[in-house]
Amino acid sequence: MRKGEKGILAVIAVFIVSFTVINMYRQSQDKSPDKGIPFYTTASRELQDSGAQLIRDLECRKCHTLWGIRDPMQSVPSPSLDGIGALYDEEWFYNYLSAADPQTIVPSRLKAEYQMPSYSTLPEIERRMLAEYLSHLKVEEWYLPEVRKTEYEKLTGKEYTDGDERADQQ
């Protein structure tokens, strides 16, 4: 190896080493926590299983995303069901699913074929189970602070304080 080549190699080596060191330093400074999947449920194991089974049987994912998953062959622009339990309670879901015309409760922007169908003919026990399952679907950090406050107080029965860690995250 000639002298000049050694010099070039040395420069490259120094470059790589400094790049690695700078990168390691930057990573160590990055304090943002790994957020992971923000969805969670407060349902019992049993309700999680039976609710998920009903959602599959009734093919809600033809139009809705749930646990981040939906039918890739359909593209109906309907709201995600993830975290929907932060917005409505069990009673609301039951009434919505039982309505002969759900659009009187949530107005639609879509053509009739894409709208939320009525599930009023579903056996009552299934409507109740679905309503309970949906009311337990939660999500962190999606909704406005006032929405989260309502959710927290509904869930825990305790007052939501600004000092709470979740309140600081936007």
Q: Which spans of this chain sit near ligand HEC (rule: CB under 6 A)? A: 58-60, 62-64, 76, 78-79, 81, 84, 93, 96, 102-103, 106, 108, 110, 114-117, 119, 130, 134
Distance (Å, whole) CA 138 – CA 170: 16
| Residue position matching structure tokens 């790049």 | 19
Minimum Å gap between C-beta 145 and ligand HEC is 19
CB 122 within 8 A of CB 97: yes
- Backbone φ/ψ region at 157: left (φ over 0), alpha (ψ -120 to 50), beta: left
CB of 133 or CB of 160, closer to ligand HEC: 133
Minimum Å gap between C-beta 155 and ligand HEC is 18
CB 43 within 8 A of CB 129: no
| Residue position matching structure tokens 């609301």 | 92
CB of 4 or CB of 107, closer to ligand HEC: 107
Minimum Å gap between C-beta 158 and ligand HEC is 26
Minimum Å gap between C-beta 79 and ligand HEC is 4
CB 110 within 8 A of CB 163: no
CB of 29 or CB of 104, closer to ligand HEC: 104
Neighbours of 140 (CB within 10 A): 17
Name the token pair of 166.
């979740």
Minimum Å gap between C-beta 51 and ligand HEC is 9
Distance (Å, whole) CA 101 – CA 16: 65
CB of 93 or CB of 160, closer to ligand HEC: 93
CB of 54 or CB of 155, closer to ligand HEC: 54
